[in-house]
């Protein structure tokens, strides 16, 4: 019995494609059939189509070249969004040429000026074989008059150009959010980005088209900012407000406790003063009672004394007694401490105890 050869055999090999060196890890038996370096791979990252570059996704789902993501990440890490005149001020030419060489090797050197990084982002768009907005019909772009018109015409872009434009718009929106620091609003950024987004060859319409492109970029940037305000997570805002309210409540509680402690001290002092005053009044009353017992005169309340004296005066019909009593009533008798003392009548006229 003859055994035939195996059928439906598959050899699986895992390879890696490198933009500069082609396929890595390719089995030796396939090397003659597959070129070591892909014909579409480019040795430079500037002035080439996105089809020959390594692409990746950003945080918003845009498929863009890795070089743009690297430049953006380094720009943000070095605080480029807070630098005044970012994307408007150009960097040094010598430094830009050096960074270009390093970028072609797939790396970004450290210590690069943020203006140089921003200039390289604009240069990448400017040196594309075809501008990002070139696929749009120029007639339709020139006829746009409102924000809705610009939004509609942008929808005509192919997927690759639409992703690049969306990435650039969000980059501009990130910069505008720090407008109070970098002095770059949506109009200023649209003005510096507009010449890099299209390559209008007709000189007669180039100026008008550039103005329309600037309006388009400004419109889309402001639209992106409005969408961010609407879609911003309210949970973070509420949590931050709740935290602030909690801090305020804690501070108010501390202040109330301090006030209560202060009020308590005051009450204690008042109670002590009141107790002292009551003690003083009790001592005065005791002294008065002792004087009533020991003295020869009679102590009577002022109103009762006045009534009794007048009755006695009428009975005796003595003018001298009336005058003496009236004088004693009208005159204020004060003790040594300035306290008004009870009215004392002369026992010689009224009688002893």
pLDDT classification of 160: cutoffs 50, 70, 90: very high
With respect to residue 21, please indicate whether it lies within any of the assigned structural domains. Answer: yes
Beta bridge partners of 16: 24
With respect to residue 32, please indicate whether it lies within any of the assigned structural domains. Answer: yes
What does the pLDDT read at residue 166?
96
With respect to residue 336, please indicate whether it lies within any of the assigned structural domains. Answer: no
**Six token digits for residue 54:** 């390594």
DSSP assigned state of 299: B
Distance CA 211, CA 142 (A): 9
Model confidence over 102-137: pLDDT tens digits?
888 878 888 899 999 999 999 999 999 999 999 999
Where does the chain show beta strands of DSSP type E? Answer: 16-18, 22-24, 55-57, 63-65
The total domain count for the chain is 1
Q: Are the C-beta atoms of residues 126 and 91 closer than 8 Å to each other?
A: no
Model confidence over 89-106: pLDDT tens digits?
998 888 998 999 888 887
Q: Which domain holds residue 130?
A: 16-231
Stated pTM of the model: 0.57
Average pLDDT, stretch 278-291? 49
Question: What CATH number is attached to the domain comprising 151?
Answer: 1.10.555.10
SS3 (DSSP) at 93: helix
With respect to residue 172, please indicate whether it lies within any of the assigned structural domains. Answer: yes
With respect to residue 201, please indicate whether it lies within any of the assigned structural domains. Answer: yes
Q: Which residue has the higher pLDDT, 260 or 345?
A: 260
DSSP string, 307-344: HHHHHHHHHHT-HHHHHHHHHHHHSPPB-TTSPBPPPB
Model confidence over 214-269: pLDDT tens digits?
999 999 999 999 999 988 654 333 333 444 455 555 566 666 665 555 544 443 43
What does the pLDDT read at residue 1?
63
What does the pLDDT read at residue 261?
52
Residues in Cβ contact with 129 at an 8 Å cutoff, skipping those fewer than 6 apart? 47, 48, 49
- Count CA atoms closer than 13 A to 149's CA, side-chain side: 12
With respect to residue 181, please indicate whether it lies within any of the assigned structural domains. Answer: yes
With respect to residue 250, please indicate whether it lies within any of the assigned structural domains. Answer: no
What does the pLDDT read at residue 240?
39
Residues in Cβ contact with 345 at an 8 Å cutoff, skipping those fewer than 6 apart? 297, 298, 300, 305, 309, 325, 328
With respect to residue 303, please indicate whether it lies within any of the assigned structural domains. Answer: no
Model confidence over 4-32: pLDDT tens digits?
777 777 777 777 765 555 667 777 776 66
Angle between helices 114-126 and 186-193 (to 10 degrees): 50
């Amino acid at each position: 019995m003859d055994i035939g050869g195996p059928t439906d055999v598959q050899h699986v090999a895992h390879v890696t494609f490198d933009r500069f060196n082609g396929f890595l890890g390719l089995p030796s038996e396939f090397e003659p059939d597959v070129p070591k370096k892909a014909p579409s791979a480019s040795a430079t990252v500037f002035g080439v189509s996105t089809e020959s570059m390594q692409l990746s996704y950003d945080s918003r789902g845009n498929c863009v070249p890795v070089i743009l993501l690297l430049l953006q990440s380094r720009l943000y890490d070095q605080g480029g969004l807070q630098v005044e005149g970012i994307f408007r001020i150009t960097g040094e030419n010598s430094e830009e040429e050096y960074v270009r060489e390093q970028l072609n090797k797939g790396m970004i050197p450290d210590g690069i000026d943020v203006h140089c990084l921003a200039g390289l982002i604009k240069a990448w768009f400017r040196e594309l074989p075809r501008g990002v907005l070139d696929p749009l019909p120029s007639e339709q772009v020139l006829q746009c008059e409102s924000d809705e018109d610009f939004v509609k015409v942008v929808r005509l872009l192919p997927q690759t150009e639409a992703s690049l434009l969306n990435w650039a718009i969000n980059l501009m929106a990130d910069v505008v959010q720090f407008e109070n620091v970098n002095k770059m609003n949506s109009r200023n950024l649209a003005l510096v980005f507009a010449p890099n987004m299209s390559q209008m060859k007709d000189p007669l319409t180039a100026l008008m088209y550039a103005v329309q492109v600037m309006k388009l970029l400004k419109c889309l940037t402001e639209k992106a900012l409005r969408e961010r305000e609407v879609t911003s997570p309210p949970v973070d805002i509420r949590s931050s407000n709740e935290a602030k309210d909690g801090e305020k409540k804690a501070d108010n509680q501390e202040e109330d406790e301090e006030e209560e402690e202060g009020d308590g001290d005051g009450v204690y002092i008042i109670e002590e003063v009141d107790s002292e005053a009551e003690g003083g009044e009790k001592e005065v009353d005791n002294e008065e009672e002792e004087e009533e017992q020991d003295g020869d005169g009679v102590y009577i309340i002022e109103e009762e004394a006045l009534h009794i004296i007048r009755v006695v005066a009428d009975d005796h019909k003595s003018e001298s007694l009336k005058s003496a009593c009236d004088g004693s009533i009208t005159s204020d008798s004060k003790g040594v401490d300035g306290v008004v003392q009870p009215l004392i009548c002369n026992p010689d006229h009224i009688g002893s105890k």
